[in-house]
Structure 1
Amino acid sequence: MAWVVGAGMLLGLLFIAMGTATLRTGWLLPTARRHVTRPQLHGLGALLMGASLALQSLMYFEILPSPSWETRFYGGNALLLGGMLLLLVSQVLPLRRSRDHTHPSDV
C-alpha cells in the first residue's frame, strides 16, 4: 500500500511543479497547448490537484498530523474535484477577444 501512496505523492509533486510553471511562465505541456484557452486557470487547477495528492500522502505517512478520516476524505476530494473543474473550465471557455478584433468593419 505504501508504494501506491508514494506514487500518488510523486504525481502530486509533478502536478505542483506543472502548475507553478504554468502560473509563472505560461508554459503548458505540448499535448495541452492546443486545448487550453486559459493558462492561469489550468495552472491553478494543477496546483489544487497536486496539493490534494501531496497532502493525502503526507497524512498517510504521518508527517502531518492526521485529522479524522471524514475530514481527509471530504477535504481531499473537494481539492481534487475543484482542481479537475478548473482544468475543465480552462479548456472549455472560449478565447478572450478584444473588441477591436470582433468587429473590424466598424472603423
Structure 2
Amino acid sequence: MAWVVGTGAFLGLMAIALGIVTLRTGWILPTARRHVTRPQLHGLGALLTGASVVLQGLFFFRLLPSVSWEARFFSGNALLFAGLLLIALSQLLPLRRNPNHADPSGV
C-alpha cells in the first residue's frame, strides 16, 4: 500500500511542478496545448490538485501531525475538486478577446 501512496505523492509533486511552470511561463504540456484557453487557471488547478495528493501522502506516512480522518477526507476532496474544476474551466471558457486589439489595421 505504501508504494501506491508514494507513487501518488510523486505524481502530485510533478503536478505541482507543472503548475508552477505554467503560472510563471505560460508553458503547458504539448498534449493539452490545443485544449487550454486560460493557462493561469490551468496552472492554479494543477497546483491545487497536486497539493491535495501530496498532503494525503504526507498524512499517510505520518509526516504531518495527525488530524481526524474526516478533516483529512473533506479537505483533501475539497482541494482535489477545486483543482479539477479550475482545470475544466481553463479548457471550457472561451478565449479572452481584447476589444482594443480586435482590428489590426488601426482604423
Q: If the length of structure 1 is used for normalisation, what is the TM-score?
A: 0.94
Moved segments of 4+, more than 3 Å: 100-105
Hey, what's the Cα distance between the residues in 2 that align with 1:16 and 1:104? 38
Counting matched residue pairs gives 107
Gaps in structure 2 of 5+ consecutive residues: none
Partner of 2:91: 91
Partner of 1:28: 28
String of CA shifts for 1:18-69, please: whole Å, max 9, x gaps.
0000001111000010000000000000000000000000010000012100
Hey, what's the Cα distance between the residues in 2 that align with 1:90 and 1:2? 33
Quote the offset at 1:98 in angstroms. 1.3
What SS class does the counterpart of residue 29 from structure 2 fall into?
A: coil
Hey, what's the Cα distance between the residues in 1 that align with 2:7 and 2:30? 23
Query: What one-letter code is carried by the residue in structure 1 that aligns with 2:18?
Result: M
Partner of 1:69: 69
Gaps in structure 1 of 5+ consecutive residues: none
Quote the offset at 1:100 in angstroms. 3.9
Q: Report the more deviating stretch, 50-59 or 96-105.
A: 96-105
Q: If the length of structure 2 is used for normalisation, what is the TM-score?
A: 0.94
Hey, what's the Cα distance between the residues in 2 that align with 1:99 and 1:63? 51
Hey, what's the Cα distance between the residues in 2 that align with 1:54 and 1:100? 43
What SS class does the counterpart of residue 5 from structure 2 fall into?
A: helix
Hey, what's the Cα distance between the residues in 2 that align with 1:21 and 1:101? 28
